[in-house]
Homo-oligomer: A and B are copies of this chain.
Amino acid sequence: MAIVVQKFGGTSVATPDLVRRAAGRAIRAKQAGNSVAVVVSARGQTTDDLLDLAYEITDRPNPRELDQLVSTGEQISIALVAMAIHAAGHGAISLTGGQVGLVTDAVHTKARIQHVNAQRIHDEFAKGNIVIIAGFQGVDANQNVTTLGRGGSDTTAVALAAALKADVCEIYTDVDGVFTADPRLVPTARKLDEITYEEMLELASLGAGVLHSRAVEFGKKYHIPIHVRSSLTENPGTMIVEEVSRMETITVRGAALVRDLAKVTIRGVPDQPGVAARIFHAIAAANVVVDDIIQNVSRQGAADVSFTVAKDELATAMDTSRQIAQELGAGDVVADDKVSKVSVVGIGMRSHTGVAQRMFKALAEAGVNIQMISTSEIKISCIIDSASADKALRVVHDAFGLGIG
């Protein structure tokens, strides 16, 4: 008998009909002979509503109490899904993070999973129950409720799949799977049947929002096949796996776009050892997350250092950069708040050459100027002007023959 973990996001349980639909899907998986565990997020706007309640009381809610509060959102969802399964004549039991023994560290609002009590779920499987588990939440060693932060329910689902040694972890969402590019921007984008964990990790960090990278990391670490698929259809989605069949023949799996970046350039930075460390230590100390960094060739003992940040962190990044520039005796600090990043990702790049050239040529032919370039073993990213962002994504996507037809 196979073990299946299904995860339904907040939009997939937002109405009574959708709750019944999710329940029906779990029942069908059970009737097909599987043991079924279902992870559910808070419904629709519930989490936002709960946060509003907190901020009506205080601007800075105590983090432990915030977790105690928002965790009720998933508890409501699991009770409703379990009721819907009961109402359809099947056995089900809902379990909160505490009840299922999902133990985390004590870092409220962004806890990390330490242990999952799989036995509790296996016991319920043995009774014939579908087990409905609250996503996003756990308890610390003292039974304080914790939450896992962004993408938490995906992480819960994959961690449970790992603890249960599940055959598959199905992530139900409102899109059909993982695409070669965002289909809203690239009409020819094609749904992928398979993608590797590493490619998915790169894409997730490059703005492909379909699955949180922490969940993918878990899947990769514990070898859990993850099936990203639509909650609205029966069509197969995208399998995230260790190795994709005929992997060698495909160099680029997908293209992605991150908008709303800003670029900071510190001019005339003295070309001495330790200078970059000082700059980025200061930026990190200001809690600004740096995306890409580029330092060009030194001229007369000084270099220009550029980096990108999320646009809403630009003001802090500029303040910090001006201060450190002064300390270092560097020149001006200039900003560009209209840059975007277009990337291609593919595990086949490891053994293929010419990928970068093909990308640069496509951008050049479309008249898109490349401001910065960064690469990893399986990714090439170019920082470009935001005005050309959509066009850049389309031409890169097409240049690698990713689309339909």
Which of A's residues lie within 8 Å of B, judged by CB? 16, 19-20, 50, 53-54, 56-58, 60-62, 64-66, 68-69, 71-72, 75-76, 78-80, 82-84, 86-87, 92-94, 96, 98-99, 143-144
Contact = CB atoms under 8 A, between A and B. Distances in A.
Nearest to A82: B65
Given A56-B16, A98-B143, A69 B65 contact: no
A99 B69 contact: no
B99 A143 contact: yes
A396 to B, nearest CB: 46
A40 to B, nearest CB: 12
Q: Which 3 A-B residue pairings sit nearest by Cβ, starting from the closest?
A: A58-B87, A69-B79, A72-B72
A243 B75 CA distance: 45
A71 B64 CA distance: 19
A264 B194 CA distance: 73
Given A50-B76, A98-B143, A99-B143, A68 B56 contact: no
A86 B72 contact: no
A207 B56 CA distance: 37
A58 B86 contact: yes
A83 B62 contact: yes
B76 A16 contact: no
Contact of A20 (B57, B75, B96): B57
Given A72-B75, A72-B76, A143-B99, A65 B83 contact: yes
A57 B83 contact: yes
A60 B89 CA distance: 12
Contact of A54 (B54, B66, B83, B94): B83
Contacts of A20: 57
A81 to B, nearest CB: 9
B87 A16 contact: no
A52 to B, nearest CB: 10
Contact of A80 (B54, B60, B84, B144): B54
Given A61-B87, A72-B72, A72-B76, 8 more contacts: A53-B80, A54-B83, A57-B84, A57-B87, A65-B83, A65-B86, A68-B82, A69-B83
A58 B82 CA distance: 11
14 contacts: A53-B76, A54-B83, A57-B87, A58-B87, A62-B82, A62-B86, A62-B92, A64-B93, A68-B75, A68-B96, A69-B76, A69-B79, A72-B72, A99-B144
